[in-house]
Amino acid sequence: MGESNYASLEVNGKKIELPIIESSDGDNGIDISRLRAETGYITFDNGFSNTASSISNITHIDGEQGELRIRGYNIEDLVHNCSFREVAYLLVHGSLPTRDQLTAFSSYLNEHSLIDEDMHHFFSGFPRNGHPMAILAAMVTSLSSFYPDLEDTKDQSFDITAARLVSKVRTIAAFSYRKSKGQALVYPRHDLNYCSNFLNMMFDSSVKPYHIDPLYAKILDKLLILHVDHGQNCSTTAVKLIGSAKANLYAAISAGICALWGPLHGGANQAVVEMLENIMADDGDVQKYIGMAKDRDNAFRLMGFGHAIYKNYDPRAKLAKELVDELFSSREINDPLLDIARKLEAAALSDEFFIERKLYPNIDFYTGILYRALGIPTNMLTVMFVIGRLPGWIAQWKEFIDNKSRIFRPRQIYVGPDLRSFVEIDKR
């Protein structure tokens, strides 16, 4: 990455040269930071879809080719060959761990998996039907009171900060689920790996011990890798926005959780499951819903198709589909929602309406069905997204802080009234 060449812009007869910033993947940008100072104008980009807010070396996405790389590694290679712990380390440090480094990081995850006993009282204050995402966001913010000392991002001990968040969020998520079920909390165990521990905390019972299926733990591990990072999306931008104000990491992560909750972002996997359930309740008439999706006057939206970045098949969706095939065939699982999903995909991919618009399945289309097969309830699907995305948020926050980036302060184009004369209330 570097600056070379210039782009010329003429505004009201004045010509200025703006530096072109070259990227390592060819997705170059124009530095407009001097635009207002030299011309008096600012840019307008609704949704910031053509605006780079920062320079990053974490994630590469090629939406046209359907490529996703994390720290230079293809997502396919990471899913097929790594554990979630390895990929979390990769994101935070920039390189895959050695065996000794992974052992040390895993030890930190184990050591910091418990939450302060006083935090348990918070769970009793939430209503039983409270959404787990609301509980998770509040509890993560509260971590700053119990663990106020954040390690320096340049120090090796930042591993402890990263491990503390990655481990404790998993524990909080499981506790949130137990609270919603009115069940006793299950503490993490030192003898279980990351995903096996989570499944055990979710489903173990003193009257019905939970058998941890190694394949279930493996599938969950791969699912979390699929979610680890995806560039400058809504929730990652929220994390960096809050971080730019020098708020603590916990506050920034909480903001990311709240952003991810939205149905147009992380909440989409829950929306897909609910859509498939509605289709199943309506006699499974897939063609009817394909027609509704094509009707501009119909409010129905086909969830799990299309992506703001990908104009090809989302590579994460392909991998999720592989995991579906492996889990459902190995354990002989039958789920009518999967049958409907496969019919829906086949119908959409053979329809010119979807082909012309390059609307392919995205990450959310099959992941909800996978989590459902693992026993994860619908209202926990976005929470699972949080657990997977957490290493990416931490890495993005760390990179942003290390680069001493400026506080986010977008401008606006004001279109309101001109100066008004004030009128006293009795004369209005």
Active site residues: 307, 364
Q: How far apart are CA 207 and CA 124, in angstroms?
A: 23
Q: How far apart are CA 399 and CA 239, in angstroms?
A: 12
In contact, 351 and 289? CB cutoff 8 Å: no
In contact, 179 and 126? CB cutoff 8 Å: yes
Amino acid at 246: K
What is the CB neighbour count within 10 angstroms for residue 3? 10
154-160, long-range: CB < 8 A, 24+ apart:
154/402, 158/92, 158/398, 159/92, 159/104, 159/105, 159/108, 160/108, 160/112
Q: How far apart are CA 312 and CA 203, in angstroms?
A: 38
Q: What Rg do the C-alpha atoms of the chain give, in angstroms?
A: 24
**Greatest CA separation found in the chain?**
80
> Token pair of 258, please?
């709240």
Block residue for tokens 């499981």: 174
Q: Which residues contact 196 (CB under 8 A, 6 or more apart)?
A: 212, 214, 217
